Amino acid sequence: MFKTIYLKELKDQLKSPAFYIFAGLLAFGTFIFLSETRPGITFLYISFGKEWHNAPIVIARLLASYTLVGVLFTMIMTGGAVARDFSAGIHDFFFTTPLNKVQYLGGRFLGGLTANFLIFGGILMGMLIAGLKLPPGYWGPFSIW
């Protein structure tokens, strides 16, 4: 039953316009920041020095800054799933079936969490597109694997 709830929640999250809006915002923000070649540009309190735009320190700082935004995305995506069931009054139906609360809430939570991981994949898409746009001097060796 856990798997059924997990897959249903993931499918619902992938149908949501918020999923694509959030992934697009992360991809666009990453692309704009990493494709900038002028010195002194700051984005989310991060600026470039002499390191490549795909240097591990730049990626770590970017991901650390995005975690602040990601908390809001997680609250919207994951919290809304269970709240919808309780506001519609169908939560009693779930708890009268051979389903315990851990399966129900865990499936809902992990479905939303998986969707959030996919949203943060937008950061990778923004990085890949920025790497294609930048001149070779700004981007270091890179392998998708």
pLDDT, one tens digit per residue, over 80-113 is 666 776 666 666 666 666 777 788 778 888 888 8
C-alpha 90/C-alpha 100 separation (Å) is 15
- For residue 12, what are its two tokens? 């619902």
Q: Can you give the pTM of this predicted structure? A: 0.78
Residue 20, pLDDT above cutoff 90: yes
Count of C-beta atoms within a 10 Å radius of residue 48: 20
Give the residue with greater pLDDT, 83 vs 22: 22
For 46-60, what is the mean pLDDT? 78
